[in-house]
Structure 1
């Protein structure tokens, strides 16, 4: 399927969900979230693309890192706070959704590509990529409860974002070391659709 068509479908899915949720159909749309996250992962793998052994290994490294730090977070309370995952994140491994691991990998790839494209100072590229990841995480934290994604017993505090930034920056520097390159168009769409969805949904649930 052509890239343009899949990008249009990506936006249609998210805009339709926002309209449906605004109309009071949360119980229909939120449980479909795993399918949307799978679609995001497929777009990243196919169009970024993840088309070499190097990229596949880097994607796998980001996936395993994401799953590992989330396991530490959920089972120990360190890193991100006291939280657990909800029913709308799909299948889990010992309480950690597989899709959260794939989203760590996806976000690491696309934010690095965006930063690499627009930041000229080489040492700042990974930091900018990590910042983009934390920005998205901040807005996702505002909707995670109502969406059934994850739940913080005492809310996400500043330490959560510091840990997110440090872990994300470490992954970004690894991607830079191995000179990762991808498609900027798909990266921008995959990032912006998630960011805009989270912001608009936050507005919807607070008005």
Structure 2
């Protein structure tokens, strides 16, 4: 009984940031190994749950704890959803493409969690770019560049995972230009409203997700 109490006290003493970062890596490494071993359908179908879990961890550890941050998340979510809706229905910004079934429920053809992903990416890349001692406008460009880099590595595994597929099977140059334009606009908003968040958690989420998709970029692309 005493030993059990000691173990519980040790767990409570572990910083919540450490727990959050551990969970982020656990989710992604488990999926990476599972997909590589041939369990792609089982793991990739859980993508909406993973995106929801990452958002919950972000809300807890970033944290999203003020009216200003809630407003920012709402704007970034809405901006991403509008951009994707224009892309899906009119081929504007990103090219001609459509979403598959593994990103969860859709709102008029656009997965709800795509909007969540846009919000998460803007927040974490915004915090990362803020650590660099440059002008506000250079931070906007750096943040947008980090998001385009992330998208670059997503494009090869995306159709394999039934996330989305472009006409012709390959993302056109307009996709990356469109991503940069939308991301730069959202990062301009981020800089204007001066959002602050946890740098370490943001960095680990970005690196973990980037490495996950980079692995499958080369796994399926070579």
Q: Which residue of 2 aligns with 1:144?
A: 158
Taking structure 2 as the reference length, the TM-score comes to: 0.90
Q: Which of 144, 153, 175 is the equivalent residue of 1:160?
A: 175
Deviation of 1:50 after TM superposition, in Å, equals 1.0
User: How many residues of Structure 1 are paired with residues of Structure 2 in the alignment?
Assistant: 207
Residue 191 of structure 1: how far off its partner (Å): 0.7
1:140-173 Cα distance to aligned partner (Å, 9 max, x none): 1111011111111222111111111011111111
Establish whether residue 76 from structure 1 lines up as the match of residue 85 from structure 2. no
Distance in 1 (CA, whole Å) between partners of 2:37 and 2:219 is 10
Match of 1:170, SS state, is: helix
* Uncovered stretches (5+) of structure 1, i.e. residues with no partner: none
- The CA distance in 2 between the partners of 1:202 and 1:28, in whole Å, is 20
Q: What is the rounded CA distance, in whole Å, between the counterparts of 2:133 and 2:98 in structure 1?
A: 35
Task: Please tell me whether Structure 1 or Structure 2 has the larger radius of gyration of its CA atoms.
Answer: 2
1:170 aligns with 2:182: no
* CA displacement at 1:80 relative to structure 2: 0.6
CA contact (8 A) 2:156 2:221 kept: no
In structure 2, the residue matched to 1:66 is 80
CA contact (8 A) 2:72 2:190 kept: yes
For the residue of structure 1 that corresponds to 2:95, the secondary structure is coil
Match of 1:108 among 122, 128, 134: 122
More displaced 10-residue stretch of structure 1: 112-121 or 90-99 = 112-121
SS across alignment from 2:156: helix
CA 1:152–1:119 in structure 2 vs 1: closer, same or farther (change >3 Å)?
A: farther
Q: Is the 8 A contact 2:48 2:104 kept in 1?
A: yes
| Cα contact 2:156–2:216 (8 A) shared by 1 | no
Q: Does 1:40 align with 2:54?
A: yes
65, 73, 79: which one pairs with 1:51? 65
TM-score normalised to the size of structure 1? 0.96
2:29 — aligned with what? 15
Q: Of 2, 6, 18, which aligns to 1:4?
A: 18
> Given the superposition, is the C-alpha separation of residues 119 and 134 from structure 1 closer, same or farther in structure 2, using an over 3 Å criterion?
farther
Equivalent position SS for 2:131: helix
Give how far 1:121 is off. 2.5
Return the alpha-carbon distance in structure 2 between the equivalents of residues 198 and 14 of structure 1.
10
Q: Could you tell me how far 1:202 is from its partner in structure 2?
A: 2.0
Which structure 2 segments of 5+ residues have no match?
Answer: 1-11
RMSD across aligned C-alpha pairs, in angstroms?
1.2
Structure 1 residue 122, shift from structure 2 partner: 2.5
Alignment deviations for residues 45-84 of structure 1 (CA, whole Å, 9 cap, x no partner): 1111111111110110000011111000000111111111
